[in-house]
Amino acid sequence: MNLSTKHLKAFKALATEKNFTKAASQCHLTQPALSVLIQNLEEQVGAKLFERNTRNVMLTPEGLLFDAFADKLLDDFEHALSELQQHVSKKAGHVTVAALPSVTVGSLIPAVAKFNSVYPGVSVAFIDVTADECLNLVKARKADFAVTFMGEQHPELISEPLCSDSFYVVCSADHPLAARKQLRQQDMLAYPVIQFVRSTSIRQHLDASFYPEKLITHMEVSNLSTVAGLVANNMGISIVPGLSLFLYNKPAIAVIPLELEVPHRMISLVQARDRVQSVAAQALITHLKETIST
């Protein structure tokens, strides 16, 4: 069966007007063209839908049944078209972004807040996970794109540099290092450090920068806010990315720039190579490039 909205609208016009001339005029068709459409519709349905005589046109029992179907089909079509237009115009839509926790709170949320002020109908969901998990979510189509650290290249993914992140030492305000204006990588080898777990991009970057030497690990954590609590309570020092510094903006914590052998961690926008982004997702990608790209 190959029914079109043209068939349905022609049927509804004739069912309403009960006159071929008036129905044809309503559909902006000639009367013969309308007759052909109705005949084709009846052939596809396999039943007569109209009784015709010299004075008027009436619906048959099958026509009455089809009338209800036609209303529903046209309503569904109009609703679907309206929803699509809402998405295309960015008045509606949903975007899922996988991102590093430090990026989510430090840069992504403020940028998305600005985006939502322009496109309030587009909902954005965040999945804040490790770098490897970000990439896996993009590969599995569970995230539209990721804002993450991408160490090695993956053939099924494409990445674009978005911004770079420097590193800082955080310690309690009364720690011996608190008075320093700048620290070098070698300075940190003498101190036990609160480290992030090995699965995090922060730890991977620091391990690569300090190699072949290693930091003395005081303890391992996975959460940036946990580090803030430990440092504020004089339970150790740590090295954290600049994107997370807002967590350490407290009188009890000193923040000192750290000069590393590998000074910057590159944060990239990562997409599946063969993915066609929705209008809403593409609009957000463009906005992020304009807002947080460095």
Write out the chain's pLDDT in tens, 294 residues.
677 888 888 999 988 888 888 889 999 999 999 999 999 988 888 889 998 876 788 999 898 999 988 888 888 888 777 777 666 656 678 999 999 988 988 889 999 999 999 889 899 999 999 999 999 999 999 999 999 998 778 899 999 999 999 999 999 999 999 999 999 999 999 999 999 999 898 999 999 999 999 999 999 999 999 999 999 999 999 999 998 998 999 999 999 999 998 888 899 999 999 998 988 899 999 999 999 865
- In this structure, the answer to whether residues 73 and 20 fall within a common structural domain is yes
Query: Domain residues for 216?
Result: 167-263
The tally of domains found in the chain comes to 3
- In this structure, the answer to whether residues 175 and 252 fall within a common structural domain is yes
- In this structure, the answer to whether residues 104 and 119 fall within a common structural domain is yes
pTM tops 0.75:
no
- In this structure, the answer to whether residues 186 and 205 fall within a common structural domain is yes
d(CA 193, CA 258): 14
- In this structure, the answer to whether residues 78 and 17 fall within a common structural domain is yes
- Side chain identity at residue 82, one-letter code: S
- Side chain identity at residue 186, one-letter code: Q
Could you tell me the CATH number of the domain that includes residue 122? Answer: 3.40.190.10
- Side chain identity at residue 161, one-letter code: P
Determine contact, residues 95/65, Cβ cutoff 8 Å: no
- In this structure, the answer to whether residues 171 and 215 fall within a common structural domain is yes
